[in-house]
Amino acid sequence: MSEEKKPLNFIEHIVEEDLTTGMSKEDLRFRFPPEPNGYLHIGHTKAIGISFGLGLRYNAPVNLRFDDTNPAKEEQEYVDAIKEDITWLGYQWDKECYSSDYFQQLYDWTVQLIKDGKAYVDSQSAETIASQKGTTTESGTNSPYRDRSVEENLELFQKMKEGKFDEGDHVVRAKIDMADPNMLMRDPLMYRILKKSHHRTGDDWCIYPMYDWTHGESDYIENISHSLCSLEFKPHRKLYDWFLDQVYSTNIRPKQREFARLNLSYTIMSKRKLLRLVEEGVVSGWDDPRMPTISALRRRGYTPTSIRKFVETVGVAKRENVIDVSLLEFCVREDLNKTAPRVMAVLDPVKLVITNYPKGKEEWLEAENNPEDEAAGSRKVPFSGELYIEREDFKEEAGRKFFRLTLGKEVRLKNAYIIKGEQVIKDAEGNITEIQCTYDPKSKSGSGTEESKRNVKGTLHWVSIRHAIASEVRIYDRLFSDEAPDGHKDKDFVEFLNPDSLKIITGYVEPGLKDAKPLDQFQFQRLGYFNVDSDSTSGALVFNKTVGLRDTWAKVKPVSTHQNIKKQPQNQQKGIPPIEEIKRAGKKYTNVPDTKRAGLKIKIIEAAKNIELEELVPLYETAVKKAGTRIATMIALSEILKNKGIQPDQLAKDFVTKALEDKNELLQSEAKEVASSYDI
């Protein structure tokens, strides 16, 4: 497959224009400047991806700079966590910098501004200063201290530095213009007194520079060429440039440009609000797998590849919008589908006894580890006459659309035999405690016998009771039940906490997992993707549910009444039958970049939920050269089989078999997944 040439985003266009108008490529330098007052979350990954992505594109250095100017909220713990997260995402910074490294230089520059009549010490309260700011339509009012003499300002500033005043007694302000239409230019604060110990400088300072004064000057000191930040800082650009004007001489002059933040549905992005969840014990910590922090996503089983793919798919925009969290879940599902070993686990067990299986006998059956990875090989799983299956996989009486185990009907046990339900045993309350069945000893999967080729409509996963390992399984769901939990002015965001965001159960896994290590990832077949939690110990496995095999949230989520959320386009256009949606997506599938292909796959999967298997039959004979339509058909086939819990018929099997021999790698990949799941 030829390497696709990706179009430039608007920030890359800015860089390219600068390079064509005289900037040397050697002068390019970017930075990611987090404040160490909390853990990085999924929203930060966009800023990380943009800055480090530019560094990779242009082979330019990227600084990691901690804007640590507020000792009241910043801690070394956050510094360490941020470094760990960026490294885990796969990025490397050039220089590790701190704004606190520049405290002396900022102080010296402030002294010079006072001498030049461009800064002064104000002795009013914060409330009074705020009241003098004016409005967007009315000019502000000059401070009565605005015209203090240079000598008095310098003396007061020196005493502030020496700790001779209390917090709030004085501040330093830039002297700009109290009538400027941009209210940020109305004599902004540059310094305040904070008698707090700093995580790096200790008690060396009791005055700390404000963000607007520090940020641009730090960029300048570090020779940053492009200072990239989110849209809320666009009004700050004028002040950013004014401060640079006061110190600019020979260094590279940074250029501030803004991009839209990453906003995610059902997610809180405010570090202040996330801290509240931690402090109030709503979650167990910053790395609680329900949190949107990078450390929490890592603990839950998300991969660096999936997060980077998500950021790439979202792209770089100039306008704010809200991304559906299902896209993030789709990206991790796609990645784990390729990399996670398949194993069997039963989370809601009911005992199944094969009455005609020899007592005391056990077999070790061959099971493929991952159909997406030929190098993954296979493993042996133990089989015996007493098994656990999922309780929902059996009904004593079932309709014609139930294709799992029921009395008098046959199903296949994954990698094993065809069984037939015979009778059940119940307790005094009428609950089924045991299912009894018989098996066909000639129907062993892969044996090549005519009996093994017999077509049955259901396949069940299982574990041998004698060999199964009991494990704690944490079933995670979205932390909030509302798509905009902090978007309601009259309600506290905690009112929308999802009471079912965590369920802890005991599940049973195959014995090969006994040596699994924290963060190891698996697909529990037919159930979803899970990983080993850091709470696991030797002999006591704990698993986290990362994500299900498909998106089920859309079926049950309530309709939002919040008006400020920009609605995402519906997957299915009004009036277009779902099968036509699949065809349309297929026509584009091989002609778009990976980033858009992910969106098309979501459309196909959603459309497939609303069609019957028979509707796909005409597409099985699509011409070989129309690979996109064949791929879309395969994706839809997989979704229908999973969604309805049925086995492929002979026509579907023939379609899959033919696709396995196709030259198109994308089609082969989709076909392998179906073939493995249904013993084709």
* pLDDT confidence tier of residue 75, bands split at 50, 70 and 90: very high
Q: Is 262 annotated as a binding residue?
A: yes
Give the chain's radius of gyration (CA, Å).
31
Q: Is 499 annotated as a binding residue?
A: no
Domains of the chain by residue range: 10-99+213-264, 102-211, 271-340+473-553, 345-460, 578-678
| For residues 547-556, average pLDDT | 71
CATH superfamily, domain 102-211, is Glutamyl-tRNA Synthetase; Domain 3 (3.90.800.10)
* pLDDT confidence tier of residue 3, bands split at 50, 70 and 90: very low
Q: Which of 12, 35, 386, 434 is catalytic?
A: 35
Q: Which of 255, 261, 414, 545 is catalytic?
A: 261
Q: For residue range 163-185, what is the model confidence (pLDDT) as tens digits?
A: 999 999 999 999 999 999 999 99
Quote the CA–CA distance of 127 and 666 in Å, as a whole number. Answer: 62
At 114, give phi and psi (nearest 5°).
Answer: -65, -45
Q: Is 67 annotated as a binding residue?
A: yes
Is position 319 annotated as part of the catalytic site? no
Q: For residue range 335-356, what is the model confidence (pLDDT) as tens digits?
A: 999 999 999 999 999 999 999 9
Chain centroid offset of residue 69 CA: 29
Q: Which of 271, 444, 474, 550 is catalytic?
A: 271
Q: Is 36 annotated as a binding residue?
A: yes
Quote the CA–CA distance of 81 and 71 in Å, as a whole number. Answer: 17
Quote the CA–CA distance of 170 and 206 in Å, as a whole number. Answer: 12
Least confident range of 140-144, 203-207, 481-485, 643-647: 643-647
Q: What is the DSSP letter of 319?
A: S
pTM of the model: 0.82
Residue 132 in this model has a pLDDT that exceeds 50 = yes
> What integer pLDDT is reported at residue 550 of this predicted model?
80
The residue type found at 634 is M
Is-contact 571 602, C-beta < 8 A? yes
Is position 261 annotated as part of the catalytic site? yes
Q: What is the end-to-end Cα distance of the chain in Å, rounded?
A: 27
Residue 541 in this model has a pLDDT that exceeds 70 = yes
* pLDDT confidence tier of residue 423, bands split at 50, 70 and 90: very high
**CATH assignment of 345-460, among 2.40.240.10, 2.40.50.140, 3.40.50.1820, 3.40.190.10:** 2.40.240.10
> What integer pLDDT is reported at residue 598 of this predicted model?
83
* pLDDT confidence tier of residue 57, bands split at 50, 70 and 90: very high
> What integer pLDDT is reported at residue 79 of this predicted model?
97
Architecture of domain 10-99+213-264: 3-Layer(aba) Sandwich (3.40)
Quote the CA–CA distance of 61 and 224 in Å, as a whole number. Answer: 9
10-99+213-264 and 345-460 in the same fold: no
Tell me the DSSP string of 453-513. Answer: T---S-EE--EETTT-EEEEEEEE--SBSSSSTT--TTS-GGGGB-TTSEEEEEEEE-GGG
* pLDDT confidence tier of residue 5, bands split at 50, 70 and 90: low
- Is the domain covering 271-340+473-553 a CATH 1.10.1160.10 domain? yes
Quote the CA–CA distance of 177 and 175 in Å, as a whole number. Answer: 7
Q: Is 37 annotated as a binding residue?
A: yes
**How high does pLDDT run on average in the chain?**
92
Q: For residue range 554-565, what is the model confidence (pLDDT) as tens digits?
A: 545 544 333 333
Q: Which residues pair with 322 in a beta bridge?
A: 263
Is position 397 annotated as part of the catalytic site? no
> What integer pLDDT is reported at residue 554 of this predicted model?
54
The residue type found at 92 is Q
Q: Is 320 annotated as a binding residue?
A: no
| For residues 588-614, average pLDDT | 85
